Amino acid sequence: MLVGFGTGLSLIAAIGAQNAFVLRQGLRREHVPAVVAFCVLADLVLVTAAVAGVGLVLAGVPGLAEAVRWGGVAYLAGYGLLALRRALWPGTLIADRQGSARPLVPVLGTAAALTFLNPHMLLDLLVLGSLAAAHGDGRWAFAAGVVAASLLWFAGLGFGATRLAGLFARPSAWRVLDGVVAVVVLGLATGLALV
C-alpha cells in the first residue's frame, strides 16, 4: 500500500490543468467539497480500471491514443488560452468569500473534462496497470495506496487553498496565478503536440 501511495502521489502531484483547477476552486471557495470529491472518485474509478486491466485493452484500440492525444492538445490549449486571457485582461478576479458563485454543474463539467480529456490519463492507466500487475496478489493494496494519495492530495490542495484566499484578495495575485497556469498548461499542450 505504501508503494501505491508514493506512486500515486508522484503521478497526481505533477503540475497540470486539473491541479490548477482544484487550486483555483479552493482559492475562490467555490464548490470545493464537490470538486475534491469528484476528483477523488474519478481517480478511484480510473485506478480500479487500471488495476482491472482496462488500460491494456485500450492500448490495443487502433487510433485511440492518437485521438486522445489531439483531443487533449485542443482542450489544454483552450484552457491555457482562457487562463492567459484572465491574466492579461482580468475581470472580476476576486476570492469569493461566500463561495458557490457559479452553478455546480458547469464547475463539475470542467473538472470532468480536465480529468477524462487529459491525455496523460491514458498513460496513467497503462503505467498504474503495469505497476499494479507487478504486485500480483497485492495489486488491490497498491490501488488502495494510490487512491489514498489522491484523497490526501486533492483535499490538501482544495481545502488548503482556501487559507490563501486573503492573499488572493488582490487582483494582481490572481493575474500571477493565471499567468503561471497559462504557461504550464500551454507548455503541456505544446509538449503533447510535439510527441
Angle formed at CA 190 by CA 59 and CA 57, multiple of 5 degrees:
5
Pick from 12, 32, 38: nearest CA to 163? 32
The pLDDT confidence band at residue 40, using thresholds 50, 70 and 90, is very high
Angle formed at CA 176 by CA 173 and CA 177, multiple of 5 degrees:
85
Asked if the model's pLDDT at residue 96 lies above 60, the reply is no
- Can you give the pLDDT at residue 10? 65
pLDDT in tens, 125-146: 777 777 787 778 888 998 999 8
- Can you give the pLDDT at residue 42? 94
pLDDT in tens, 151-171: 999 999 999 988 887 777 777
Range of 158's domain?
A: 2-194
Exposure of 177 by Cβ count < 10 A (0-12 exposed, 13-18 middle, 19+ buried)?
Answer: buried
Residues 6+ apart with CB under 8 A from 146: 4, 5, 7, 8, 11, 43, 47, 128
Pick from 155, 190, 192, 185: nearest CA to 20? 185
pLDDT in tens, 51-61: 888 766 766 77
Number of domains in the chain: 1
- Can you give the pLDDT at residue 13? 64
